A and B are shown apart, each in its own frame.
Chain A
Amino acid sequence: MAGPAAFFAVFFAYPVAAIVARGLETDGTWRFGRIAEVLAQPGIRQVLWFTTWQALVSTALTLLIALPGAYAFARLDFPGKQVLRAVVTVPFVLPTVVVGTAFLALVGRGGLLDELWGVRLDTTVWAILLAHVFFNYAVVVRTVGGLWSQLDPRQEEAARMLGASRLTAWRRVTLPALGPAVAAAALMVFLFTFTSFAVVQILGGPTFSTLEVEIYRQTSQVFDLSTAAVLTLVQFAAVGAVLAVHAWTVRRRESALTLVDPARTARRPRGTGQWALLGGVLATIALLLVLPLAVLVERSLAAPGFGYYRALTREDGGAFLVPPIDAVGNSLRYALAATAIAVVIGGLAAAALARRDAGRLVRGFDALLMLPLGVSAVTVGFGFLIALDEPPLDLRSSWLLVPLAQALVGVPFVVRTMLPVLRAVDGRLREAAAVLGASPWRVWREVDLPLVRRALLIAAGFAFAVSLGEFGATVFIARPDHPTLPVAVARLLGRPGQMNYGQAMALSTILMVVCAVALLVLERLRTDRGGEF
């Protein structure tokens, strides 16, 4: 417990506090007046308003589109379901830069729709909303569908026997049981879209800007640190409130539901209604999830003879000091190191949280662990630069800086994945081992480890994928001669010309393939009690 707490204090709380202090403190006096000043600016209010409503609309849209999918994956049995479940999860672990790029290739200038019908959406809010749905579809399917598939259908049957119609039984029995899961999924989606950065950065153009994008602009272009600090605090407060609600719904969801083996609840579709629903779900997945990725791949191949891919290996004197392809190696190295850190820190935290005698304080830490998902990654990245620059923590020139920042985002995933599994290990198994002569260390190795090994691998996989895709913090702290894949993609997109655009597509494709392969390996390891991501 002390380890994870210290890690978060040094590498999360301290940098964020440092940058807030830098913005709001001059000569030892705090200028809290700045908060009111900044919030009074019409431009900032515009950003706040847009951030909130796009997150609300994105959340509603995601629920609307993904809930039928959750039902289909939970209760219907169809060929290729396993593979499809992996496919819908791919967007979630895809780097947001790739998501942005993919939608740009679909609805942007010179995109597929532009070519076919002259339709461009990249100047409208629809591109952002659709990208958010694309990204978060899996959150709803996995969180809600995961619970739905484990709800005992006999509960509904019992209601039917007591005289409830099919619809009434669903409304009175299933829906209340699902309610907390739907709320939790909605909150997660809201959180991710509220703090959306790369997607809005790429698709929003100059018109649309979220808090996170504005923080980035204020920090790196306008150099107005005090405005950035205020915005960070605002985002922090909003995210804190959302997380508090999330923690509350999670606790309610853990209330006693009788869960059964998901394999027993799914059936072949029956009747036109179910077939139509399944067809609709499959069409949605094809159009919304698969098509953008397919277009991305197609664009990356537009130059004859893999021209864009071959161009990646060439040294170019522009924004890169090294061939862009080097970013692949950098990304993999950083992500592996970040994964190792995240698994150790997250594993220790999960083990502490899983203890039955965990006190209030420890359980409060549970919610705190989620904060890095919501606190501005840009702030964390910039905070790293200004806070970790003097001994004993002078890490500015250390390669470890990037993995440390990436691990912050990975830890919540590790905790979320490990916690349910660790909690499910029957304490009396450990006692049985102790009575048979196993020391506490042996108990952990002989009882806990074999039971959580798969969850540990899955957690590592997720941590790897999100580390690979981390952009907001990395963009600040990656050294120019050591860019990561998402950073390289963003730089290529930021430069004019067909060649750069094509290379961005090619690099995104590579990134997507790496993530997808990691994910498909994970899907084979999926546990019944896997986490909610």
Chain B
Amino acid sequence: MLLSLREATVRFGGRAVLDAVDLDVAEHQVVCVLGPSGSGKSTLLRAVAGLQPLDAGRVLLDGRDQSGVPAHRREVGLMFQDHQLFPQRDVAGNVAFGPRMRGASRAEQHARTAELLDLVGLPGAARRSVAALSGGEQQRVALARALAPRPRLLMLDEPLGQLDRSLRERLVVELRELFGRLGTTVLAVTHDQGEAFALADRVVVMRDGRIAQSGTPLEVWQRPADAFVARFLGFDNVVEATVVGEAADTPWGKVPVPEDAPQGARTLLVRPAGVRLVPVEEGLRCTVTARTFRGTHVTVHLQPAGAPRLEAACPLRSAPAPGDETGVRFDPAETVVLD
């Protein structure tokens, strides 16, 4: 393992921000830590970088314990949330900083800078002032700067957080391709599940300083570990349920579940696509409270009598209007019984 955390713990004034976290990152792997703000994901990066001392546990790089190794000797790269480019240096000065600190010759620095600026798509920007760069360009320079000293592990803190949506979606693809090509080992943190799923080989969901779930993007998306993860991923149709055989008893009535579903008192998730709208008399009776246009479909918010709200995804053409009455049936293929 390139990076291992063993029961890593950080406390701020008695509160555990990182609570005995175990995490492994293999070489050439891209791991994304996903969590709401305050879940301890930035602290995790700072602990690995050596900027935040651990109160307990260990950080291992290449199997070697890093306690006592200061940040500047760990040979890990960290791209900060708001980039933190050095304002008094130009683009080349920023990119060459790492190699210079590691004692590279002037010619090496120059070659490395040119190489990286090419790589991030900013050839010829070397002499520009960092203050004159757009947000997307700053992000590229920050990436070039972090990669320049050839870190063993590259860490990204909310790498695309401040960019606008279209740019973000384009850059995610670019980053993914770049890391694949270079074989870089990456540990990134983000609160945006779209970003995490697009970027990562493995997703780690954090909650209150602990790891709530870890798996491939597909695994996590298909089978969220618990109600918290499901809700964090944007699923709102989550209720307590009692599963008996192939049906679950819920506030919404009987909901069919897959045949191999675990039995007993469980949490049930119905994906919006599994909430089918049918004529009023054929299913659970609901009032439409709102609808939100999502581009490819419409999210319809439904209020059943005496039960939690439901979200349904339905095609643009057949979406009912607010105030309409409709019936609802559930699709077992889109229903997940959480452990």
Contacts and interface: CB of A to CB of B under 8 A. Distances in A.
A436 B70 contact: no
Contacts of B97: 433, 436, 438, 446
* Interface range, A side: 10 to 19
A435 B72 contact: yes
Contacts of B74: 435
A178 to B, nearest CB: 29
B101 interface: yes
A317 interface: no
A439 B78 contact: no
Interface string A440-478: 101100110011000000000000000000000000000
Interface stretch (B9-17, B80-88, B192-200): B80-88
B86 A434 contact: no
Given A429-B86, A432-B86, 6 more contacts: A426-B84, A432-B80, A436-B97, A438-B97, A438-B101, A442-B72
B256 interface: no
B88 A435 contact: no
B140 interface: no
The 5 closest A-B pairs by CB, nearest first: A437-B101, A436-B98, A434-B71, A432-B84, A435-B78
Nearest to B89: A450
11 contacts: A431-B49, A432-B86, A434-B51, A435-B49, A435-B74, A435-B76, A437-B102, A439-B70, A442-B72, A442-B101, A450-B88
A285 to B, nearest CB: 35
A428 interface: yes
Contacts of B76: 435
Interface in B153-208: none
A236 B149 CA distance: 57
A358 to B, nearest CB: 17
A408 B97 CA distance: 39
B84 A438 contact: no
A440 B154 CA distance: 21
A428 B51 CA distance: 10
Contact of A436 (B51, B82, B101): B101
Give the residue among A428, A431, A433, A435 with the most B Cβ atoms within 10 A. A435
Nearest to B97: A436
Contacts of B86: 429, 432-433, 446-447
Interface string A403-446: 00000000000000000000000101101111111111011001
A451 B88 contact: yes
Interface residues of B, number: 25
B274 interface: no
Nearest to A442: B101
Given A428-B80, A431-B51, A436 B149 contact: yes
Interface of A: 426, 428-429, 431-440, 442-443, 446-447, 450-451
B145 A434 contact: no
Given A428-B80, A432-B80, A446-B97, A437 B88 contact: no
Interface string B98-136: 100110000000000000000000000000000000000
Contact of A434 (B70, B75, B88, B149): B70
A437 B75 CA distance: 7
B75 to A, nearest CB: 8
Nearest to A453: B88
B77 interface: yes
Nearest to B101: A437
Nearest to A434: B71
Contacts of B70: 434, 439-440
A429 B83 CA distance: 9
B142 to A, nearest CB: 9
Contacts of B84: 426, 428-429, 431-432
Contact of A437 (B51, B80, B149): B149
A432 B78 contact: yes
Contacts of A435: 49-51, 71-72, 74, 76-78
Contact of B72 (A429, A434, A451): A434
A434 B70 CA distance: 9
Contacts of A439: 70, 72
B104 to A, nearest CB: 10
Contacts of A426: 84
B263 to A, nearest CB: 50
Nearest to A447: B86
Given A432-B80, A446-B97, A438 B72 contact: yes
Given A426-B84, A428-B84, A429-B86, A437 B78 contact: no
Contacts of B102: 437
A249 B88 CA distance: 33
A444 to B, nearest CB: 12
Contacts of A429: 84, 86
Residue among A428, A434, A437 with the highest chain B CB neighbour number at 10 A: A437
B302 to A, nearest CB: 40
Interface in B50-99: 50-51, 70-78, 80, 82, 84, 86-88, 97-98
B30 to A, nearest CB: 19
Nearest to B78: A435
A291 to B, nearest CB: 43
B261 to A, nearest CB: 47
Contacts of B50: 434-435
A525 B80 CA distance: 31
A359 B222 CA distance: 50
B267 to A, nearest CB: 39
Contacts of B78: 431-432, 435
Nearest to A443: B72
Interface string B200-223: 000000000000000000000000
Most buried by A among B51, B72, B88, B146: B72
B338 to A, nearest CB: 38
Contacts of A446: 86, 97
Nearest to B83: A432
A442 B80 CA distance: 20
Contacts of B149: 436-437
Contacts of A442: 72, 101
A464 B67 CA distance: 46
A269 to B, nearest CB: 31
Most chain B C-beta atoms within 10 Å of own C-beta, residue among A426, A432, A433, A438: A432
Contacts of B73: 437
Contacts of A433: 86, 97, 101
B101 A431 contact: no
Contacts of B98: 436-437
Contacts of B88: 450-451
Contacts of A432: 78, 80, 84, 86
Nearest to B142: A432
A437 B84 CA distance: 15
Contacts of A428: 80, 82, 84
